[in-house]
Amino acid sequence: MGVKDWAKENQPYYKCLEHGQETLTDAELLAVLLKYGAKGKSCVELADEVMAVCGDKGIVSLGCATKEKLLSIKGMGESKTVTMLCISEIVNRYCREKIRSDKVMDDPSIIANYYMNEYRFYDQEVLSLICLDTKNKLIAKVNISKGGLNSSTFYIPDILKTALSYSAAGVVLMHNHPSGDPLPSKADISATLDFKKACECIKIAMLDHIVLGDNCYFSMKEAHILDGE
């Protein structure tokens, strides 16, 4: 049975107009944007599937929606997929807009909060390099690799080359832990200290390595792991 066959007071459009958008569930909000369901499922049921395939955090899970995930849902199609991808990007841009790129990024919490929503739902580790100028303003954020920090994904010469290409005065390493626990491993720490020594050789300040978890983070700078190395 489609939404149009539901009692009027239960239809998302009607609920929004009569009682306000805040009364809609996450699935109902998405259903309004999807407009139509698919064979054998209402737009609300389809919206539930969209959120389920993206993660388990409700509508905020859309922040990590991908074309592949969405097209795997029967009944989505390209048009609905594009709509959801655009919503995903709106979510991420809104979160990033809270801290604009001209903001001085000299505090781990500023950096972590800036990128948290983008990284917290990734299902694999993504290592990124944040390049800063002499005033610790953001020049660029470059994704270096996907996967754990091992010798094949954490190749120091390539990372340094990236930093030099942006004329970075300082850099911050950042990666996520899909488990949600941001505590760094021994391998994370060892690789970071090796990278810091390499940065010193070319006069680039290695300022921090931030590990992002589920709405939390770990800063090696704050933990004094980088002190004295």
In the predicted model, is pLDDT for residue 11 greater than 60?
Answer: yes
Q: Which of 105-119, 123-137, 188-202, 211-225 has the lowest mean pLDDT?
A: 105-119
Compute the C-alpha angle 108/191/63, nearest 5°.
50
What b/e string do you get for 165-191 counting C-beta neighbours within 10 Å, with b at 16 or more? eeebbbbbbbbbbbeeebebeeebbeb
Q: Domain locations in the chain? A: 3-96, 108-219
Q: Say which residue, 100 or 121, is predicted with more confidence.
A: 121
Domain made up of 108-219: CATH architecture: 3-Layer(aba) Sandwich (3.40)
Residue 152 has a pLDDT of 47
Residue 10 has a pLDDT of 74
Rounded to whole angstroms, the Cα distance separating 27 from 48 reads 5
How do residues 49-84 score in pLDDT, each as one tens digit?
888 887 766 777 777 778 888 888 888 889 889 988
Q: How many helices (H) and strands (E) does the chain have?
A: 8, 5
How do residues 25-38 score in pLDDT, each as one tens digit?
888 888 888 888 87
Rounded to whole angstroms, the Cα distance separating 177 from 214 reads 8
DSSP conformational letter for 185: P
Question: What three-state secondary structure class fits 36?
Answer: coil
Residue 144 has a pLDDT of 92
Rounded to whole angstroms, the Cα distance separating 164 from 103 reads 22
User: Which conformational region is residue 92 in: left (phi greater than 0), alpha (psi within -120 to 50 degrees), or beta?
Assistant: alpha
Cβ atoms within 10 A of the Cβ of 212, count? 27
Residue 100 has a pLDDT of 56
How do residues 120-161 score in pLDDT, each as one tens digit?
778 789 999 999 999 999 999 999 988 766 554 688 999 999
Instruction: Tell me the pTM.
Output: 0.65
In the predicted model, is pLDDT for residue 15 greater than 90?
Answer: no
Residue 170 has a pLDDT of 97
Query: What does pLDDT average to over the chain?
Result: 86
